[in-house]
Amino acid sequence: MSFQAKPRVLFSRQEIEATVRKLAAEISRDYQGKHPLLLGVLKGSFMFMADLIRLLDFPLEVEFISLSSYGRGKESSGKIKVVRGLRSQVRGRDLLVIEDIVDTGLTVAFLLDYLRKKRPASLKLCALTDKPSRRQVPVTIDYLGFTVPDKFLVGYGLDWDEKFRNLPDICVSEE
């Protein structure tokens, strides 16, 4: 796919907005009276995180972590590293991980394992999209936006080689 190619819309900005509202309602119901730490996985979750937290009407904190798994291509290397670690205390906190996409599951399985060792009071996962056909390790998604086909997605924070994150819709990048 060239940088000029126009990706095809899979979920429009209106569909995304409705789905983020539905997720925010579920999360609000479950976290009333708590003070969770929402942990966004950089970079792909930044737009989703920004829209989601504006719809949450209870006290919360925001933190980001950066992991490396993908190289410059479209296939996961399977080797995951923490590139930017946590700067907040996690022990005893209600922790909600915010992911853009669960694909093979390797990244989030690594992250959940890494976080569990830090002894949070609770640990849940919210993912905007899920590509179950590519799963290599089992992952439980507590709050899920869209189940997606085995296509490479871009837009609404998702990139291909750092490009297309700014598209307001979730699109399929076609060769």
Kindly list the residues in this chain that would bind ligand IMP in the complex (CB under 6 A).
41, 44, 69-70, 76, 99-108, 152-153, 158
Task: Say if CB 22 and CB 28 are below 8 A apart.
Answer: no
From the candidates 51, 100, 103, 130, give the one annotated as an active-site residue. 103
User: Which residues does 16 contact at the CB level (< 8 Å), separation at least 6?
Assistant: 51, 145, 156, 169, 170
Closest CB 44 distance from ligand IMP, rounded Å: 4
When the beta carbons of 76 and 122 are compared against ligand IMP, the nearer one is: 76
What sign does the CA torsion over 46, 22, 76, 174 have? negative
Closest CB 31 distance from ligand IMP, rounded Å: 23
Q: Catalytic residue at 159?
A: no
> Which phi and psi angles does 82 have, rounded to 5°?
-85, 120
When the beta carbons of 35 and 81 are compared against ligand IMP, the nearer one is: 81
Of 141, 100, 97, 103, give the one whose Cα is nearest residue 115: 97
Closest CB 81 distance from ligand IMP, rounded Å: 12
When the beta carbons of 7 and 36 are compared against ligand IMP, the nearer one is: 7
Angstrom distance (rounded) from CA 167 to CA 175: 17
Catalytic residues: 103
